[in-house]
Amino acid sequence: MEKKIIKTDILIIGGGTAGCYAAIYLGENCNYSVAVVDKAAIKRSGCLSAGVNALNAYITEGHQPIDYVEYASKDAEGIVREDLLLDISERLNKVTHDMENRGLTILKDEKGNYVSRGWRNLKINGENIKPLLAKEVLKQKNVKVYEHINITDLRSDGSVRGAYGFGINDGVFYEFKSKAVLIATGGASGLYRPNNPEGQAHQMWYSPFNTGAGYCMGIISGAEMTTFEMRFIALRCKDTIAPTGTIAQGAGAKQVNSFGEIYEDKYGLTTSQRLWGTVTENSEGRGPCYLKTTGIDKEKENELLKAYLNMAPMQTLKWAATKGPSEKDVEIEGTEPYVVGGHTASGFWVDNKRMTTLKGLFAAGDVAGGAPQKYVTGALAEGEIAAEGIIEYIEKEYDDKENEGLLSGLSNTCKEGYEKGLKRKSVLEGTRRYRVRDLERAMQKIMDEYAGGIKTDYKYTVHGLDIADERIGELSKMLDYTDINDTHDLLELYELRERLVVARVLIAHLKVREETRWHSFQENADHPEKSPEFDCYINSYMKDGRITVIKRKLVKV
C-alpha cells in the first residue's frame, strides 16, 4: 500500500455542515493551514445531500436564546448540557444571517422580515445549502480539501495529532499530521434493522453514510461519551422515510389514527411522545396513523410537491406516481433508532470550547453530545465555537513534543490493518468467510430484536440487552473472517466496525439507565417509570476494550 503523509496545522475530519463551517471560519480568521478530509465529495456529502427545507433552530423576535435552552431541555426531560445549548443558541441568528449573505434563500414577507414556522423555525430553500458551503470552503486560501478518503483512527500519543485513513478510489494509506483535530463525522445510522427491506435498506432518514466513525475513533482512543441511551427515532413519511415537518408544522396537518381521531393530545407533545403516541395507536389496533392532509387545495399540494423536491425527492416521486396529499392522507411511521447528537444529547463529552476529553481533539455537530435540537444552524454555530477553541488551543496549550516511537507504531499498525484486510482473501481461502453485508444484517437483526428496535415497539429488557451484548461481541470477532476484495469492501468493513463499537456502548448505556426517561427513545420495560435517581448524565469510556459507565451531575445555567 502506497503511503502519503500530509502535514497541516489543523485537521477537520468530515466536511459536512459543522466541518465546512469551521473550515470557512478558520479560512477567514487565521493563517493556520487547514485540511478538510471527507469520505465523499463535500459538494453533497453528509446529511445535507438532498437539501433541507427549514432552519429548525432560530430565535424569532420576542424570544431569547434562553427560551431555546428551556425548550430543548424540556423536550429532553432535563438531560441536556444547558451551558452548551446556551452558547449555541446565542449564535443561531448570527450564523443564519451569515448563510443568507453567502447565498442561502430564506422566505421573507413584503416588509423583508423572515417568515417563521412557529417561533424557532425559518422556511428556506435549502436544496443548494451543501454546494453553497462547499463553494465557500474552496474559496479559502489556507484550506485544502481531501475527498474520498475514509478516516478510521486517530493519531494520538496522549494528545490527538492527526488521523489515519485510506483512499477509497486510490487505495493509498494517508497519514495526516496536525496540531489539533476537529471531528465532525455526524451521527450513526444503520445500527438497527431499518424500515425497508434489503434492496431499499438505505431508504432511511439519517444519512446511511454516517456510520458512527467519529464516535468509534473517540471510543477506541478512550474519549468519554455521553447519553448514548437517548436514541433518536424519527416520525417520518411511510416508506420514503422523508421528513414530516414541512407537512405538520408547515402545512399544519395533524396526526390522526385510522378512525380519523387526533391523538397527539393524549400522549404529550415532546418529540419522543409524538412518536410513542403513534407507536401506541398502532399497537392498540388504531393504526395506521396519518398526517391529515386531504382537502388541501391543489395549489398547496403543488407547493408541497415542489418543497419535497428540494429535500426528499423520492417523496414527490411517490406522490406523483400514486395519489397526492390533497387526495390521500400521508401515512407516517417510526424509523429505526439512530445515535445522533444533533437531535438528541448523545455524543462526545465536551467542554465549552468543544474540546473532548482527549487533548487536542474537538467535536462539533451531530458527533458532539450534550446539546440536542442543534440541527443545521446549531451545527454551524458549534463548528464556529470549536474553530475558535482550536485557535486558542494551538496558541496556548499545544505542545509540539511528539512521542515518535508510539506514533510510528500506531501508523504501522493501522497500515498493516488495511493491508491485512486487503490481502485477506488469499490468506483465508477455503476457511470461514463471510460477506461484510451479511454480518451487518446480523447486527441489525440482533439490535432490532434485543436492544429495542422496531420489532419490540422500541422497548427493551435487561435480559434482552445481555443477549445483544453477547451477540455483538461475537460478531465483532467475525470481522476477521470477512471477504475483502478491494478498497470498497474495506470501507464496508470499517463502517461495520464503527457500528459494532457504537452498538456496544449504546447497549451499556441503555442498561445503566434503570428507568424510562423518554418513551420509545429509551423505554426500559423492566423500569417503565421515570425516576429522579437518574436526573444525571450517563457517561462512559473504554479502556483496554472494557467499557466503564459513570454518572455525572447535570449542568444547569
Partner 1 sequence: MGAVTDRAKCIGCGRCIDVCPGNVIRKDEQGKAYLKYESDCWSCAACVKECPMKAIYLRLPPEYGGTGADMYARKNKNITTWEIVRADGEVIRYTTDTEEANKY
Ligand X SMILES: Cc1cc2nc3c(=O)[nH]c(=O)nc-3n(C[C@H](O)[C@H](O)[C@H](O)COP(=O)(O)OP(=O)(O)OC[C@H]3O[C@@H](n4cnc5c(N)ncnc54)[C@H](O)[C@@H]3O)c2cc1C
Residue at grid coordinates 478498497: 487
The span from the CA of 407 to the CA of 404, in Å, is 5
Contact (CB, 8 A) for 58 and 378: no
Tell me: does residue 347 bind partner 1 (CB under 8 A): no
| Sign of torsion over alpha carbons 46, 233, 219, 427 | negative
Are 493 and 482 within 8 A, CB to CB?
A: yes
- Nearest approach in angstroms of CB 227 to partner 1 is 27
Cell of 229: 441511551
125 binds partner 1 (CB under 8 A): yes
Binding-site partner at residue 305 among partner 1, ligand X, none, CB < 5 to 8 Å by type: partner 1
Is 107 among the residues that bind partner 1 (CB under 8 A)? yes
Question: Which does residue 366 touch among partner 1, ligand X, none (CB within 5 to 8 A, set by kind)?
Answer: ligand X
* Complex with partner 1: residue 33 or 45, whichever CB lies closer: 45
Segment 173-192, which members bind partner 1 (CB under 8 A)? none
- 448 touches which of partner 1, ligand X, none (CB within 5 to 8 A by kind)? none
Q: Which is nearer to ligand X, 185 or 411 (CB)?
A: 185
> b/e for 369-383, b at 16 or more Cβ within 10 A?
bbbbbbbbbbbbbbb
Regarding 6 and contact with partner 1 (CB under 8 A), the answer is: no
Q: Which does 205 bind (CB under 5 to 8 A by kind): partner 1, ligand X, none?
A: ligand X
Which of ligand X, partner 1, none is residue 55 near (CB under 5 to 8 Å by kind)?
Answer: ligand X
Q: Are 348 and 65 in contact (CB under 8 A)?
A: no
Cell 436514541 sits at which residue? 231
Residues 463-492 that bind partner 1 (CB under 8 A): 488, 491
Q: Quote the cell numbers at residue 261.
A: 381521531
Partner whose footprint covers residue 337, from ligand X, partner 1, none (CB < 5 to 8 Å by kind): none
Pick from partner 1, ligand X, none: which does 107 bind, CB < 5 to 8 A by kind? partner 1
The reply to whether 247 sits near partner 1 by the rule CB under 8 A is: yes
Dihedral (CA of 252, 257, 262, 263) sign? negative
Query: Site for partner 1 (CB under 8 A): which residue of 35, 79, 95, 168?
Result: 168
Residue 173 DSSP symbol: E
Closest listed residue to residue 307, CA positions, set 330, 276, 281, 274: 330
d(CA 243, CA 253): 13
Q: Which of 65, 78, 287, 313 is the binder for partner 1 (CB under 8 A)?
A: 313
Task: Give contact residues for ligand X (rule: CB under 6 A).
Answer: 13-19, 37-40, 45-48, 52-56, 150-151, 184-186, 205-207, 209-210, 213, 243, 342, 365-367, 375-376, 379
Instruction: Output helix, strand, coil percentages for the chain, rounded to the nearest 5.
Output: 40, 20, 40
Task: State in angstroms the smallest separation of the CB of 363 from partner 1.
Answer: 21
State the SS3 of 357-390: CCECEEECHHHECCCCCCHHHHHHHHHHHHHHHH
Q: Is the peptide bond before 528 cis (omega within 30 degrees of 0)?
A: no
Candidate segments 43-51, 274-282, 361-369, 514-522, binder of partner 1 by CB under 8 A: 43-51
Q: Minimum distance from CB of 246 to ligand X (Å)?
A: 8
Q: How far is the CB of 441 from partner 1 (least distance, A)?
A: 11
Separation of alpha carbons 173 and 440, rounded Å: 25
Question: Is 299 or 429 the residue whose CB approaches partner 1 more closely?
Answer: 299
Q: Between residues 387 and 491, which has the closer beta carbon with respect to partner 1?
A: 491
Which pairing describes strands 459-460 and 361-363: parallel, antiparallel, or unpaired?
A: unpaired
Please provide the distance, in angstroms rounded to a whole number, between the alpha carbons at the two ends of the chain: 51
Task: Tell the smallest beta-carbon distance from residue 107 to partner 1 (Å).
Answer: 4
Minimum distance from residue 250 beta carbon to partner 1 (Å): 3
Among 124, 414, 447, 490, binds partner 1 (CB under 8 A): 124
Among 26-34, 319-327, 391-399, 541-549, which window interacts with partner 1 (CB under 8 A)?
319-327
Strand partners, 359: 159
Q: Quickly count: other Cβ atoms within 10 Å of residue 312's Cβ.
A: 23
Name 150's bridge partners.
166
How far apart, in whole angstroms, are the C-alpha atoms of residue 161 and residue 181?
A: 7
- Mark the segment that binds partner 1 (CB under 8 A) among 59-67, 77-85, 202-210, 376-384: 202-210
In this chain, which stretch among 63-71, 246-254, 374-382, 387-395 interacts with partner 1, using CB under 8 A? Answer: 246-254
Q: How far is Cα 13 from Cα 131, in angstroms, rounded to an integer? A: 18
| Closer Cβ to partner 1, 204 or 345, answer by number | 204
Nearest to 134 by CA among 142, 143, 125: 143
Greatest CA span in the chain, whole angstroms?
A: 73
Write b or e for each residue in 426-435: b if 16 or more Cβ atoms lie within 10 A of its Cβ, otherwise e: eeeeeeeeee
* Residue 503 contacts which entry, partner 1, ligand X, none (Cβ below 5-8 A, type-dependent): none
Binding residues among 404-433 for partner 1 as defined by CB under 8 A: none
Single-letter code of the amino acid located at 138: L
User: Sign of dihedral through CA atoms 354, 234, 440, 229?
Assistant: positive
363 binds, among partner 1, ligand X, none (CB under 5 to 8 A by kind): none
Closest approach, Cβ 529 to ligand X, in A, equals: 31
Question: Could you say which residues in the range 131-160 bind partner 1, by CB under 8 A?
Answer: 147-148
Contact range with partner 1 by CB under 8 A, out of 104-112, 347-355, 365-373, 460-468: 104-112
In the complex, the residues that contact partner 1 under the rule CB under 8 A are 39-41, 43-46, 49-50, 53-54, 105-108, 115, 117, 123-125, 127-128, 147-148, 168, 196-204, 207-209, 239-240, 246-247, 250-251, 300, 303-307, 309-310, 313-314, 316-318, 320-322, 488, 491
